[in-house]
């Protein structure tokens, strides 16, 4: 993916042992570095998923974890909000971040992003009802 908000994906990959730690985030944890960081000259290619089945499994797992994390943080959600956030996620990914330039894969990514966003808030709504 060259567009859709996925490129470049600047992620800390190399760090000195003892000078960094992982965040406590349940979903999309990141490296917290003590000191300066740099950027490699060439990109490291990273396959976040190998096929659609893996993407759907990851999306289901991440949306459940994110809903629980949001609930723990005091967030609330309703059905209308879940739908609107899903629609906004599609528009942002496909139109504003240029997903349409990635062809059918860009469209599929925008739909998956919208679904993941919708499921996250729909699951939060259902957690609130329990």
Q: What's residue 38's pLDDT? A: 81
| Entry pTM | 0.78
Helix, strand, coil abundance in the chain, percent, nearest 5: 55, 5, 40
Instruction: Indicate whether 49 pLDDT > 80.
Output: no
For the stretch 87-120, pLDDT in tens is: 999 999 999 999 999 999 899 989 999 999 999 9
Check: CB of residue 25 under 8 Å from CB of residue 67: no
High-pLDDT (> 70) share of the chain, %: 99
Task: Give me the mean pLDDT over the 62-73 stretch.
Answer: 92
Check: CB of residue 93 under 8 Å from CB of residue 110: yes
Check: CB of residue 13 under 8 Å from CB of residue 1: no
């Amino acid at each position: 993916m060259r567009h859709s908000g996925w490129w470049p994906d600047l992620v800390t990959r190399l760090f000195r042992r003892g000078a960094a730690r992982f965040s406590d985030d349940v979903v999309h944890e990141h490296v917290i570095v003590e000191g300066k960081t740099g950027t490699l000259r060439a990109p490291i290619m990273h396959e976040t998923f190998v096929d659609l089945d893996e993407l759907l499994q990851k999306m289901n797992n991440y949306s459940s974890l994110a809903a629980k994390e949001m609930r723990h943080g005091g967030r609330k959600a309703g059905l209308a909000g879940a739908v609107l956030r899903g629609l906004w996620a599609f528009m942002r990914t496909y139109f504003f971040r240029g997903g349409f330039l990635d062809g059918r894969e860009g469209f599929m990514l925008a739909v998956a992003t919208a679904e993941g966003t919708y499921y996250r808030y729909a699951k939060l709504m259902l957690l609130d009802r329990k």
